Structure 1
Amino acid sequence: MTYAYLNHRMSRRTFLAGATLAGVNLAVFGLSGCAPKTPAAATGTDTLAFTPGTYTGTGEGKFGPLTLQATFTDSAITDIAIGEHEETERVSDRAFDEIPATIIDQQALGIDTITGCTLTSAAILAAVTDCVKQAGGDVCAMEKNYRAPELSADVVELECDFVIAGAGAAGMGAAVGAAQAGAGKVIVLEKGSNVGGNALVSGGYLEYVNAPADLRVPMTPELTRQLEADLANPIAAEIPPEELAKIKERYAAWQASGDTTLFDCEELMALQECLLYGADGYYGSLDFAQCVSAFDAFLDENGFAWKPCIGIVGYPWPHWSAPDDGFCGQGYFNFFDKQIAENDYPVEIMLNTPVTALLKDGDRVVGFTAVAEDGTTYHVRASRGALLATGGFSGNPDMLREYNTIWPWDENTPLPTTNVYGHHGDGIKLALEEGAEVALMDSLMMFPFADVKNGCDETTVGEDTDCLLVNKNGERFVDETLDRYTMTEALMKQPDEVLFLISDKDTSRVEGEYSYYGRSIQRLLDQGQLHRADTLEELAEQMGCDPATFKATVERYNEIARAGEDPDFGRMIFTERSPIENPPFYASPRTWAAHITEGGVVTDEISQVLREDGTAIEGLFAAGEVTVGMSGVSSMALGYACGAGVFSA
């Protein structure tokens, strides 16, 4: 696989203009107190002076301190060694490679941060600045040394069989699917600095309906009750009768088989989607379920390793799995790397090279125009089609406000997001310029388990569905297994719009000194992103609520959990581990943040983008969150099907 580092960097000033979290601003502004740089070509210093030695510096990264060691002679920095940190793998890689190299090469600070890994870039610069100060160096002089690369005016023509905008879940799935189906050359144009998109910072969960028995949970009485309630739901009666009959027949056969693990099937997955979004979309949901199952089978056939299945926030049926390789969704992209390398697939990935326009031949889309970091313009023409896989717009507050019809925001409401850099609705905007139809643009899914400090998902401690949720008063306020829209609506009515996810030793998913997502427990505690105590009263004090109220809440919840009946909020799914009773006890403070936009461009059965009059925009395809409907990590399945379909037709 070729990674072409033709990257378009975002300056620190540009980043700050779009930042929504105060902590980010402080991290970047803290780099130095020097006056603004004058143009690089007119500055620079001939000599620098340091006290020789190796110094340890610290900068604040996304999840906490990043340390490094910088070695100095009396006149230069000669080495920078990155030390302890918790930056996200792949997202931070380019910053680790390039920022230290540029500092040493130019003996400079004040370097522009790298688009897509701005926080890591800023942390490295802050840590090196710390070392320079310790060594007695002149920080302002080193900032003046930085020489930004001159932008190119070159225009380069490239040709391929298939070009993809976006190297996230859908884009990489499409690239592998197309290559496997016989594409001679696939070019992927990525706006950010890494492959992976939001899948790298989500839980990495994918529906695994046909999981083997050893990965399935037991079919408990509570799960049986939930299943039977789903089958009896009035919405279930609205799906085609023959489809409901299939589920019941499969359930009866499962009962007769003596299987004690979770009952599941593609039709049930489709029904559960309908219970959330309406029965009129049953066949679309079934197509989606079958598409995901086919992708799961592809992973299985190629030796993919899975974690045991669980339920996740908003989707409690425990048929969700994740890679048993790395954290979050990293393992999927390790898998794609391996597939591309082992099969010598002709996939070229150009990072920090955002698509800016469609290339057309008459009414047909024949490729994309993209502009790289160094200013080079690329016209990438593709003989078989161009795919938009650019994700949604949860990272674009302006678009969120424009399309919002359901959330109580005003123009002053901060809109943090769980998303990585780049999800600004770019693909939707390009499609709209061609007259594409869009739908459900106001279906804006908030995530009710976002970090109160930085909006991310990865610092959560505790099982998503087998937990207790309380507000800042220490009171339970919602059924913990409801959908994300309902949970967020309830959360917004709580004091300061904050909840605490309460867990104990059995449900915290803490392994040693690290969380399920690989975050240091001690660091989360030190930074106020987690509370831990051996008694409920002590935990309540750390949370800032009345110990007696909180203890009574937990005792009431435990009573409900042991009985498996919830007269207070109607929750149905409990397990033997649900009661909060085995110390240490944990409280993970969370709030809401923009997570997934379910609206987008409308496509046909082969993923071609449709105009408002129902005709296809020839040559233009779309997959993943840029389209209307299902999204998330399962976008990989949709992208894979699209890429394979283009070259199988």
Structure 2
Amino acid sequence: MPRTRRSTASLYLRQRMRLRSRPLCPMSQGFVPSLSLLRAEYTHVCLSCVLRGRQYFFLGDMVCLKKGGIHSWRMTSVLRSAPKMRSRPSRQHDRKGGFMKYADTLSRRGFLVGGALTGCAAVGMGLAACSPRSEDSRVKAVASGSDRDSVNSVEPSFLTPPEPIADDDIGEIKDADVVIVGCGISGMAAARAAADEGAKVIVVEKSPRFNCRGSMGSQIGAVNSVYQQQAGYPRFDGNELVNRYMQDTLQMSKQSFLKYWVDHSGEDLEWFLELCNVEILEPGEMVPEEGINGNVYIMTKATALPSGRYPVWPTAMSINFDPSFPEDAGFFYPMQSFQSDVESKGGEFLYATWGRQLVQEDGRVVGLIAQTADGNYIRVNARKAVVLACGDFGNNEEMMAYYAPQASNLTCTYNCMDANGDICNVGEGHQMALWAGAAMEKAPYAPMSHLTDVADILLVDRSGKRFVNEELGAQSLSNVIMRCPGEVAYCITGDAVGPKVLQPGPDAKKPDPIATVEEAAAVVGCEAATLQDTIDRYNELAAAGEDRDFGKDPSKLTAIEPPYYVYEGHPGSMLVIMGGIDCDDSCRALDKNGSAVSGLYVCGNTQGCRFGAEYPMTAPGISHGLALSLGRLAGANAATLG
């Protein structure tokens, strides 16, 4: 790389770098070979990956071991954490095909934006170039939205549907009964379910293979499956879980979906794993050191507390959890087995192919126009229905600002790449549905944010004063800190508890011991006398065995004695944003009047009605669990109901 260009990129990174450290995403997509290095003290990734919005912990040189060869780009600057960088390019509109061109002042390359395809159901996907990447064009993710119940009164340009792609531009036509757009866990479940009903299935996915969360996201939630019974999970009343979940999501979830998951998730998990060789690990046991080798190892998580302020039910199991990040970790083998099964029934998978527009005739969705890596358009006819399973819009700056401004500053840490190496999670499935007349579910939308349990610590704002009962769930803690002055709070512990962090991750360094309150106050940036008064009062409540100020469980009150440990906490990061297309109990997309958009189904993170304003930890693994169960339901209904 020429020296002048490297210097410009270095300057760009420094300008975009935030001073505070945030939790970072240990990427686990197998088609990026450099991921295994993330276990080390530092990682090597190419500058192009950084500029596309990935976030890593950098120390020293960077080299990308990217698919297709080793790039020689290097950076010798010592960097701290790199939050997702969202440039704000000037816009130029090219409405044909829905692709909006952007001119980025920080790069000599133009950016092309388009319609939609992606893959992860419980995870997000992204947008790709309308033609193969060249020296003069690269994909830039943009937003999509709806005019229904938006939290932002300024209507963005993406609400205007693009010009239809002309028939003369179509180079190939394929026919199917059901077309699935996106191949994550929900899309793959929809594909197999439709094939099981005898439908000819075509799956369109812009990545080089199916997408699924790897080791760090291999948890899936179910109720009373045979595997959970064999592992000794306690049985429980699913209605209690559903009622609590509705309460935790402020009654914004569709209760019928939660009830469906409770009633069917056990058999759906068994269906997901039935083509694999399954072994249940003993508590604390890890996958074999010699590798997974085509097997499925279930790590049990039967411990739960379905009582107290934030009850948690025993729903989660981890599939092939391997912290060494091999390519075949997580859901890889179940997904692979599903693809083979669909193909044996006549199904077809079009990888490295981007969904661009839905095709409608007389108000009914009858197909999809897709685009190959060579830039050629394909029309895929759907005799029965199209299922959108394209992931979320967490990496879409415009969509986040329009639909979820309260979470727009959170770093999106579940990032995967398409076949061109461009960032995913930009809401293309939402765009295509909206252009076809569907509507977004009512706001607000919840970011999936996981912070560490802080029940046994003292939490203060930057004035040094306690302000909340610290018994907070993961998302609730993020919400609380988000509303603090400066979006920052400080957790303080003493010798009895020891050092703690709010945001686990590869860059999460536990705080060093501090001898005096004056030194602790200097970290917080408050008056020492104020912090001393706060600690004294907290210790007084602990000694009395009653939190008369905020009502915390007395068992969580632990006196704070030196040495002190102070950790600066921010709202954290999010994996995905949980807002999607409105739908009915059959997973059919709905328009703004609540009527079904004929021939269109949604599932995964493209689908709304699952979480509402909050992503609680009431039922761990429920996001993947709903993706599997509702993906299966959407595929079966698409094949049978049309």
Q: Scaled by the length of structure 2, what TM-score is found? A: 0.58
**How far apart, CA to CA, are the structure 2 residues paired with 1:215 and 1:554?**
44
Map 1:140-289 → 2, pairs under 5 A: 148=134, 155-180=171-196, 182-190=198-206, 195-196=210-211, 199=213, 205-210=219-224, 212=228, 264-277=236-249, 282-289=255-262
> What residue is the counterpart of 2:393 in the other structure?
393
1:306 maps to a residue whose letter is M
Equivalent position SS for 2:628: helix
Q: Is contact 2:353-2:372 (8 Å) kept?
A: yes
2:386 maps to a residue whose letter is A
* Farther off after superposition, 612-621 or 177-186: 177-186
For the structure 1 residues 506 and 642, does the alpha-carbon distance in structure 2 shift closer, same or farther, using more than 3 Å as the test?
farther
Consecutive unaligned residues in structure 1, runs of 5 or more: 1-12, 17-21, 31-61, 65-85, 98-108, 134-142, 217-260, 450-456
Equivalent position SS for 1:90: coil
**How far apart, CA to CA, are the structure 2 residues paired with 1:29 and 1:469?**
30
1:290 maps to a residue whose letter is D
Structure with the larger helix share: 1
For the structure 1 residues 296 and 408, does the alpha-carbon distance in structure 2 shift closer, same or farther, using more than 3 Å as the test?
closer
Residues 624-645 of structure 1 show CA distances to partners (whole Å, capped at 9, x for unaligned) of 2322211533323221232244
**How far apart, CA to CA, are the structure 2 residues paired with 1:645 and 1:615?**
17
**How far apart, CA to CA, are the structure 1 residues paired with 2:503 and 2:409?**
29
**How far apart, CA to CA, are the structure 2 residues paired with 1:564 and 1:374?**
69
Pair 1:326 & 2:327 matched: no
**How far apart, CA to CA, are the structure 1 residues paired with 2:566 and 2:382?**
53
**How far apart, CA to CA, are the structure 1 residues paired with 2:316 and 2:563?**
27
Equivalent position SS for 1:643: helix
> What residue is the counterpart of 1:568 in the other structure?
549
> What residue is the counterpart of 1:624 in the other structure?
604
**How far apart, CA to CA, are the structure 2 residues paired with 1:317 and 1:605?**
26
1:124 maps to a residue whose letter is V
Q: Is contact 1:367-1:385 (8 Å) kept?
A: yes
**How far apart, CA to CA, are the structure 2 residues paired with 1:581 and 1:356?**
60
> What residue is the counterpart of 1:355 in the other structure?
355
2:337 maps to a residue whose letter is Q
**How far apart, CA to CA, are the structure 2 residues paired with 1:114 and 1:377?**
30
Out of 16, 32, 46, the residue aligned to residue 93 of structure 1 is 32
> What residue is the counterpart of 2:160 in the other structure?
none
Structure 1 residue 173 displacement after superposition: 3.1
Out of 281, 284, 299, the residue aligned to residue 306 of structure 1 is 299
Residues 128-161 of structure 1 show CA distances to partners (whole Å, capped at 9, x for unaligned) of 334999xxxxxxxxx99xx93899x883333344
Q: Is contact 1:63-1:87 (8 Å) kept?
A: no
**How far apart, CA to CA, are the structure 1 residues paired with 2:381 and 2:33?**
28
> What residue is the counterpart of 2:590 in the other structure?
610
Map 1:240-639 → 2, pairs under 5 A: 264-277=236-249, 282-299=255-272, 303=278, 305-308=298-301, 309=303, 316-326=311-321, 332-340=330-338, 343=341, 345-346=343-344, 349-403=349-403, 414=409, 416-420=411-415, 421-440=423-442, 442-446=443-447, 462-463=452-453, 469-473=459-463, 475-482=465-472, 487-500=477-490, 519-520=505-506, 523-525=507-509, 530-533=510-513, 566-571=547-552, 587=567, 589-592=569-572, 597-630=577-610, 632-633=623-624, 634-639=626-631
Structure 1 residue 364 displacement after superposition: 3.0
Structure 1 residue 183 displacement after superposition: 4.7
Q: Is contact 1:499-1:590 (8 Å) kept?
A: yes
Equivalent position SS for 1:175: helix
For the structure 1 residues 386 and 582, does the alpha-carbon distance in structure 2 shift closer, same or farther, using more than 3 Å as the test?
farther
**How far apart, CA to CA, are the structure 2 residues paired with 1:427 and 1:96?**
27
**How far apart, CA to CA, are the structure 1 residues paired with 2:497 and 2:368?**
48
Residues 283-333 of structure 1 show CA distances to partners (whole Å, capped at 9, x for unaligned) of 454234334444344457663613414579x96424352525236999552
Q: Alignment length, in residue pairs?
A: 482
Structure 1 residue 436 displacement after superposition: 1.9
Residues 153-202 of structure 1 show CA distances to partners (whole Å, capped at 9, x for unaligned) of 88333334432222334223323444455555441323x566446x5597
Out of 612, 633, 636, the residue aligned to residue 641 of structure 1 is 633
Q: Is contact 2:218-2:319 (8 Å) kept?
A: no
**How far apart, CA to CA, are the structure 2 residues paired with 1:268 and 1:181?**
33
1:129 maps to a residue whose letter is W
For the structure 1 residues 553 and 373, does the alpha-carbon distance in structure 2 shift closer, same or farther, using more than 3 Å as the test?
farther
Structure 1 residue 647 displacement after superposition: 4.3
For the structure 1 residues 541 and 636, does the alpha-carbon distance in structure 2 shift closer, same or farther, using more than 3 Å as the test?
farther
For the structure 1 residues 464 and 387, does the alpha-carbon distance in structure 2 shift closer, same or farther, using more than 3 Å as the test?
farther
Equivalent position SS for 1:264: coil
For the structure 1 residues 342 and 563, does the alpha-carbon distance in structure 2 shift closer, same or farther, using more than 3 Å as the test?
farther
Q: Is contact 1:209-1:293 (8 Å) kept?
A: yes
Equivalent position SS for 1:531: coil
**How far apart, CA to CA, are the structure 2 residues paired with 1:506 and 1:335?**
44
**How far apart, CA to CA, are the structure 2 residues paired with 1:183 and 1:580?**
64
**How far apart, CA to CA, are the structure 1 residues paired with 2:312 and 2:592?**
36
> What residue is the counterpart of 2:13 in the other structure?
26
2:427 maps to a residue whose letter is G
For the structure 1 residues 580 and 289, does the alpha-carbon distance in structure 2 shift closer, same or farther, using more than 3 Å as the test?
farther
For the structure 1 residues 542 and 428, does the alpha-carbon distance in structure 2 shift closer, same or farther, using more than 3 Å as the test?
same
**How far apart, CA to CA, are the structure 2 residues paired with 1:263 and 1:554?**
42
Q: Is contact 1:505-1:584 (8 Å) kept?
A: yes
Equivalent position SS for 1:568: coil
1:639 maps to a residue whose letter is G
Residues 466-523 of structure 1 show CA distances to partners (whole Å, capped at 9, x for unaligned) of 765443455443334456776455323423202345689999999xxx9997x54xx5
Structure 1 residue 589 displacement after superposition: 3.0
Q: Greater relative contact order (Cα 8 A, min sep 6): structure 1 or 2?
A: 2
* Aligned-pair identity (%): 21
Consecutive unaligned residues in structure 2, runs of 5 or more: 37-44, 65-69, 78-107, 110-132, 138-168, 279-296, 416-422, 612-622
1:334 maps to a residue whose letter is F
**How far apart, CA to CA, are the structure 2 residues paired with 1:509 and 1:193?**
43
Q: Is contact 2:46-2:73 (8 Å) kept?
A: no
Q: Is contact 2:393-2:399 (8 Å) kept?
A: yes
> What residue is the counterpart of 1:223 in the other structure?
none
**How far apart, CA to CA, are the structure 2 residues paired with 1:338 and 1:394?**
26
Equivalent position SS for 1:323: strand
Structure 1 residue 26 displacement after superposition: 0.5
**How far apart, CA to CA, are the structure 2 residues paired with 1:275 and 1:389?**
27
Residues 564-610 of structure 1 show CA distances to partners (whole Å, capped at 9, x for unaligned) of 864433445x8789888999968363325566544432223321223
**In terms of Rg, which structure is larger?**
1
**How far apart, CA to CA, are the structure 2 residues paired with 1:504 and 1:307?**
33
> What residue is the counterpart of 1:222 in the other structure?
none
For the structure 1 residues 320 and 625, does the alpha-carbon distance in structure 2 shift closer, same or farther, using more than 3 Å as the test?
same
**How far apart, CA to CA, are the structure 1 residues paired with 2:205 and 2:477?**
36
1:354 maps to a residue whose letter is W
**How far apart, CA to CA, are the structure 1 residues paired with 2:262 and 2:321?**
26
**What CA RMSD, in Å, does the superposition of the two structures yield over aligned residues?**
5.5
**How far apart, CA to CA, are the structure 2 residues paired with 1:524 and 1:584?**
18
1:319 maps to a residue whose letter is P
Q: Is contact 2:516-2:562 (8 Å) kept?
A: no
**How far apart, CA to CA, are the structure 2 residues paired with 1:203 and 1:547?**
42
* Farther off after superposition, 349-358 or 577-586: 577-586
Q: Is contact 1:395-1:419 (8 Å) kept?
A: no
